[in-house]
Amino acid sequence: MTQHTFCSSFRARWGVGAFVAAAFTSGYGTAASAADPALIVGPTITISATDMRADALRMPEEMRFQVLSKPQTVTQIASSLYARRAMAQKAEAEGVEKDPLVAAALQVARDKVLSDAFIEKMDKATAPTDAAAESLALSIYRAKPERFKSEEQVQIRHILIAGKTAESRSQAEKLLEELKAGADFAAIAKAKSADPGSAAKGGELGTFARGKMLPEFDSAAFSLQKPGDLSDIVETRFGFHVLQLQGKLPAGQRSFQEVREELVKEVRNNVIQEARASEAQKMQREAKINTEAIEAFSASYVKPVR
C-alpha cells in the first residue's frame, strides 16, 4: 500500500478532527516490544498492537472482535494510523501545533481521551455487584408488577401480492385456493410474496401485539383462532395479503426470570448514569459561567440578515 493510499484511506475514514486527536494522543516512533509487537514500521514511526487497541476504543466492545479478527481490516486500520502519525510528525516539525486553534483542538482531544478513561474507571468502581443488581431488579419487579404485564400476541406469516388491481386480487385469490388445497405456505411466500423482508423467511413476521400492524391486517391476524388457520384476502394500502396463524400467546404476567436479564441491565445502567451525573454536577458547581462572554461569542456566529 502506497503513502498516497494511506492518505486517501485516512481522509475518507477519519477526517481532520480525528487526525488532530490522534496526533495529540499518539507518540512518534514508539518502540515495540515482544509484549507489544510492531504491526507497521517506518523510518521513524512504528504502529504497535497497543496503538491498534487504543484506536479500537472508539468502537463498541462487541464490534471490536468482529473488526480486529480480520487481518485485512487490521492492515487497513494500521495503515491509516501510520498515515495519521506521519502527518502529525510533519505538522509538529512545521510548528503547526503553535496555532492557537490547533493547540485548543489538541487540548480538547486530550480532555476527551482522559475523561473517557476516567469515566470507564469510575463505571467499574460504581457498578453494582451481580448480587446487588439482581436484588434491585427483584425490588423493581415487585414494586411495579403492572410494568411486566404482557398483551395477547400472535405469530403470523403472510404472502403479499402488490398492487390494487383486479388482476392482483385475482392472483391473491388463486394463491389462497392453492393454500387451502394443501400447498406449502413458506414455499409460496418465498417464490411469490412482494414483501422481501418476510418472503426470504417463508413469510414470517414474528410475534406482535395488537396495534402494531395496519388496522385491517391487525384485525385479520387476531381473528384467526388455531395454528395453521388461513385468513381471507386482506386488502391494505400495500396490496392483497393472505395470512396464516402460527401461534398465539395469551395476555399475562411475565415472570421475573423472563425479565431478569433486561432488569439487571437497566439497574446497572441507572446506577452508573447516576454516578456519572453526580460527579459531573460536583465538578460543575465549582465553575462560574461568564454569561456576557457567551452571549458575545454566540453573537459572532449570527448570520447577518440580507
pLDDT at 306: 77
DSSP H or E segment with residue 246 = strand 239-249
Q: What's the Cα-to-Cα distance from 100 to each of 91, 104, 106, 112, 124, rounded to whole Å?
A: 14, 6, 10, 18, 36
Query: Residue 100 — pLDDT band, cuts 50, 70, 90?
Result: very high
Position 101 pLDDT exceeds 80: yes
pTM > 0.85: yes or no: no
Q: Which of 28-37, 52-61, 116-125 is most confident?
A: 116-125
Q: In this structure, how many other beta carbons lie within 10 angstroms of the beta carbon of residue 185? A: 21
pLDDT in tens, 174-231: 999 999 999 999 999 999 999 999 999 999 999 999 999 999 999 999 999 999 999 9
Which residue in this structure is represented by grid cell 439487571?
A: 264
The three three-digit cell numbers of residue 9, written as one number:
484511506
Position 25 pLDDT exceeds 80: no
The domains of the chain are located at 3-125, 127-148+253-268, 152-250
Cα within 13 Å of Cα(71), Cβ side? 1
pLDDT at 4: 41
106 backbone dihedrals φ, ψ, rounded to 5°: -65, -40
Q: Choose among 272, 295, 275, 291: nearest CA to 283.
A: 275
pLDDT at 19: 39
Query: Residue 238 — pLDDT band, cuts 50, 70, 90?
Result: very high
Q: Rounded CA gap, 18 and 6, in Å?
A: 15
Residues 260/261/265/266 CA torsion (nearest 10 deg): -40
Percent of the chain exceeding pLDDT 90 equals 82
Position 20 pLDDT exceeds 80: no
Query: Residue 62 — pLDDT band, cuts 50, 70, 90?
Result: confident
- Give the mean pLDDT of 44-49: 94
pLDDT at 18: 41
Query: Residue 304 — pLDDT band, cuts 50, 70, 90?
Result: confident
- According to the CATH classification, is domain 152-250 in 3.10.50.40? yes
pLDDT at 32: 56
